[in-house]
Amino acid sequence: MIAPSLLSANFLNLSSEIEMLNKSDADWIHLDIMDGVFVPNITFGFPVIRQIKKIATKPLDVHLMIIKPERYIKEFKDAGADILTVHYEASTHLHRTLEQIRSMGMKAGVSINPHSSVSLLENIIEYTDLVLLMSVNPGFGGQKFIHGIYQKISETKELISKNNPSCLIEIDGGVDIENAEKLFKSGADILVAGNAVFSSQNPAKTISDIRSKRVK
């Protein structure tokens, strides 16, 4: 699947960007929520998400890069999140947080930063619908892809196959047409593409081109 990230969209023309995604081959719409504390950037909050939800026809894949995400789970559900991913590094009581997300009818995801080991997920993988592996240091779009992600995908795939085969693997950061095929072949299920999509001359075609690299 492909989940274009609105972090790289034109915010002065956000409505038309979402309409483009609605008509494209995108599967989800990825929203990066940053608080300026967990990561050195601030993006958007509930009012913007609610407006996006009004016109988006694809599920909203909400990635929280905020400390203590458990404070706002109901608010993100009410704003329109369909998938809610929190960081291992930012949630003290992660099991409780994942259970709370699921109890509200959302898919529950866990993300880990590039420096974090996949082994950290061993005790909570069975409660997780999605593992999001960061292939850049979180905070800004357009960063250089970290190639060590391929090994982490393999390790995550092995962990999932033993404990929770239905869990999906999502990759976020530096995804483009050049590395999409290898990411899919390594075991990724969902690719988040931001700069590669929205900086292209034909974003909808770029989405289709990246999606075409999936393992047949």
> Would you please indicate which residues are annotated as catalytic (active-site) residues?
32, 172
Question: Rounded to the nearest 10 degrees, what angle do helices 203-211 and 14-23 cross at?
Answer: 40
DSSP-assigned beta bridge partners for residue 107: 83
Q: Please report the beta strands in the chain, taking only residues with DSSP state E, as ranges in sequence order.
A: 2-4, 29-34, 60-65, 83-87, 107-112, 130-134, 168-172, 190-193
Q: How far apart are CA 26 and CA 50, in angstroms?
A: 20
One-letter amino acid for residue 164 of the chain: N
Question: Rounded to the nearest 10 degrees, what angle do helices 14-23 and 46-55 cross at?
Answer: 40
